[in-house]
C-alpha cells in the first residue's frame, strides 16, 4: 500500500518544511498574543476612539477569510507600494488574524474577574495599569489559557495557508515533492502526521501550563 521507501527518503525534506512551519507558528502565536492583548485592552478602555478601533479590527478580521486576508497582504499591498516578503506577509496575516480571536478570548477572561478585584486594587492606590498587570491579568490568565490554547492550535494548522503565498513550509514542501514523486498519499500523510505532532505537543505544553497555574493558588 504505502511506499515506505519514498517515505523514508523524503521525510527529511518534510521535516525541514515542518521546522519552518514551527518557526512561523511560534512567531505568529507570540505576535498574535500581543495583538490580542492590545486589542482586548483597547476594547475595555474608556476611550471611545480606542474602543472603536479595536472593535473595527476584530470585526474586519473575523468577518473575512484568512486566505483572502493573506492574499490582500501579499498580492494587494504591493499595489500601494508596500512590498512584503512572503514570510513577513504570512506571519503578519496569521498574527493579525489570531490577534482578533485572542482579543475576544482575553477580553472575556478579563471581564470574568470579579469587579471587586479592580476596586480593591484601586482603593489601595494602584493605577489602572498596575492593577491590570499585577491583579487582574494573572487571574484572567487562568480562565483564558484553555480557550487561548485552542486558538494557538488552530493557528498552527492555519499556517498551511501561507503555502499559497509561496512560503515553503510543510504543506508547500509536500506539494512540491508530489510534483516530482507523484505520491500524494504518502506526502500528505507525512505532512498530516507532522502537523499532528506539532499540535499535540502544543496541547501538552498548554496542559502543563494550565495545571501549574491552577495549583499555584491552593
Partner 1 sequence: MKNNEPNCMVEIRDLHKHFGPLEVLKGIDIEVANGEVLVIIGPSGSGKSTLLRCINYLEEPTSGEIYVDNTLVNDRSLKHKAFQEHLNRTRCKMGMVFQQFNLFPHMTVLENVIESPIHVMKQDRPTAISKAEDLLEMVGLAAKRDNYPATLSGGQQQRVAIARALAMEPSVMLFDEVTSALDPELVGEVLRVMETLAREGMTMLVVTHEMGFAEKMADRVVFMADGFVVEDAPPHEMFTNPQHERTKQFLAEVLK
Nearest-approach distance from CB 187 to partner 1, in angstroms: 48
Measured distance CA(89)–CA(83) in Å, rounded: 9
Binding segment for partner 1 (CB under 8 A), chosen from 29-37, 86-94, 119-127, 145-153, is: 119-127
Nearest-approach distance from CB 178 to partner 1, in angstroms: 51
Q: Is 117 in the site for partner 1 (CB under 8 A)?
A: yes
Q: Please tell me what DSSP assigns to residue 174.
A: H
Measured distance CA(218)–CA(215) in Å, rounded: 6
- Nearest in space to 99 (alpha carbons), one of 31, 149, 32, 42: 32
Measured distance CA(123)–CA(176) in Å, rounded: 62
Residue closer to partner 1, measured from CB, 122 or 176: 122
Q: Is 214 in the site for partner 1 (CB under 8 A)?
A: no
Q: Which of residues 56-115 bind partner 1 (CB under 8 A)?
A: 114
Nearest-approach distance from CB 29 to partner 1, in angstroms: 24
Question: Using CB under 8 A, which of 30, 34, 60, 120 touches partner 1?
Answer: 120
CB 43 within 8 A of CB 107: yes
Q: Is 180 in the site for partner 1 (CB under 8 A)?
A: no
Nearest-approach distance from CB 216 to partner 1, in angstroms: 7
**Cell digits of residue 73:** 497582504
Sequence-distant (≥ 6) Cβ neighbours of residue 204 within 8 angstroms: none
**Cell digits of residue 101:** 480571536
Residue closer to partner 1, measured from CB, 131 or 177: 131
- Cα 137-45-118 angle, rounded to 5 deg: 45
Question: Using CB under 8 A, which of 19, 119, 192, 204 touches partner 1?
Answer: 119
Q: Which of residues 121-150 bind partner 1 (CB under 8 A)?
A: 121-128, 130, 134-135, 138-139, 142
Total residues found in the chain within this entry: 218
- Residues found near partner 1 in the complex (CB under 8 A): 114, 116-117, 119-128, 130, 134-135, 138-139, 142, 216-218
Amino acid at each position: 500500500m504505502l511506499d515506505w521507501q519514498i517515505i523514508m527518503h523524503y521525510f527529511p525534506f518534510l521535516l525541514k518544511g515542518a521546522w519552518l512551519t514551527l518557526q512561523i507558528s511560534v512567531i505568529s502565536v507570540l505576535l498574535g498574543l500581543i495583538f490580542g492583548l492590545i486589542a482586548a485592552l483597547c476594547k475595555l478602555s474608556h476611550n471611545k476612539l480606542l474602543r472603536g478601533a479595536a472593535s473595527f479590527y476584530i470585526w474586519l478580521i473575523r468577518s473575512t477569510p484568512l486566505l483572502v486576508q493573506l492574499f490582500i497582504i501579499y498580492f494587494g499591498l504591493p499595489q500601494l507600494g508596500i512590498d512584503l516578503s512572503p514570510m513577513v506577509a504570512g506571519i503578519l496575516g496569521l498574527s493579525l488574524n489570531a490577534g482578533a480571536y485572542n482579543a475576544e478570548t482575553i477580553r472575556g477572561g478579563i471581564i470574568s474577574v470579579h469587579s471587586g478585584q479592580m476596586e480593591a486594587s484601586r482603593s489601595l492606590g494602584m493605577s489602572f495599569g498596575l492593577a491590570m498587570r499585577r491583579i487582574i491579568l494573572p487571574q484572567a490568565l487562568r480562565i483564558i489559557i484553555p480557550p487561548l490554547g485552542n486558538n494557538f492550535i488552530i493557528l498552527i494548522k492555519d499556517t498551511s495557508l501561507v503555502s499559497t503565498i509561496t512560503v515553503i513550509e510543510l504543506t508547500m514542501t509536500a506539494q512540491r515533492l508530489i510534483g516530482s514523486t507523484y505520491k500524494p498519499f504518502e506526502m500528505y500523510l507525512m505532512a498530516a502526521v507532522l502537523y499532528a505532532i506539532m499540535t499535540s505537543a502544543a496541547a501538552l505544553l498548554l496542559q502543563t501550563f494550565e495545571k501549574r497555574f491552577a495549583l499555584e493558588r491552593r
